[in-house]
Amino acid sequence: MNYSSYTNEELVSIIQSGDEAAYDQLFRNLAPITLHEVEMYRGNMDTYGTEDFLQEGNIVAWEIISRGNFKGGKFSTYFGAAIRNRLIRIWRDYNLKNLVCIGESEDCRGNVTRIMVESEYAKEYRIKKAAQQKRWYEKKKAEQALTNPPKEKKPPMTKEERSRKIMAYQKEYYAAHPEKLAERREKNRIAEKARRERKKALAALEA
């Protein structure tokens, strides 16, 4: 079916009704808008060519319709703002991930070396993000201090204090479990008997 005589708004309605064949005509209608918006970026991103930019425009149009974002009015105006925002994000990401060439040098053999540095945008963005993260951390730290005030640190126990604490615990434990106390005493008695027998046998060997 020939959709060349339809307006963009009519094409959107046709697509939403289930006839996706109208996408091709809509993409052709929106291509000039995309090419107009990419003029300032053309040639400034080595990894993006004209076809790549047009494909980004097609993706934006498809997302607008599939997500139901367009509620009425002039579709070209809505699309123009959307592709503009998309290109800004692409430009930002490109500058964050790619170095900028500030010069070239050539040696005596004709080998060319490019001088690559981080872009000013990437530097400013990195500094801005670091400042945001620092403010967020300080805010969270302050909130935590209000809800969970730090406990006062107790001075470390001395050796005598630890011994008294252990003895008190053992006394309380064996008072509640007398059978455990009887088992321990029996083990100590057997161990003491064995020690005396070893000592007696060693004395007999030395005699």
Of 127-136, 155-164, 189-198, least confident by mean pLDDT is: 127-136
Measure the CA angle with vertex 128, ends 127 and 131; round to 5°. Answer: 85
- Report pLDDT for 26: 92
The answer to whether the beta carbons of residues 122 and 96 sit under 8 Å apart is yes
Residue 103: pLDDT band (50, 70, 90) is low
What is the mean pLDDT of the segment spanning 183-203? 88
**Chain mean pLDDT for the chain:** 85
Percent of the chain with pLDDT over 70: 91
Residue 119: pLDDT band (50, 70, 90) is low
Q: Left if phi > 0, otherwise alpha if psi is -120 to 50, otherwise beta: which for 158?
A: beta
3-state secondary structure of 205: helix
- Report pLDDT for 45: 79
Structure-token match 């060439």, residue found: 101
Token representation of residue 166? 């252990």
Render 129-198 in DSSP notation, one character per residue. HHHHHHHHHHHHHHHHHHHSPPPPPPPPPPHHHHHHHHHHHHHHHHHH-HHHHHHHHHHHHHHHHHHHHH
- Report pLDDT for 117: 61
pLDDT digits (tens, 9 = 90+) for 66-89: 988 888 889 999 999 999 999 988
Cα within 13 Å of Cα(194), Cβ side: 6
Q: Domain boundaries in the chain?
A: 8-98, 99-153, 159-206
Of 46-60, 89-103, 191-205, least confident by mean pLDDT is: 89-103
3-state secondary structure of 108: coil
pTM for this predicted structure:
0.51
Q: Is 125 exposed, middle or buried (0-12, 13-18, 19+ CB in 10 A)?
A: middle
- Report pLDDT for 199: 86
DSSP assignment letter at 22: G
Q: 50: which residues sit within 8 A by CB, 6+ positions away?
A: 35, 38, 42
Cα–Cα dist 190/167, whole Å: 23
Please say if the pLDDT value at position 115 is more than 70.
no
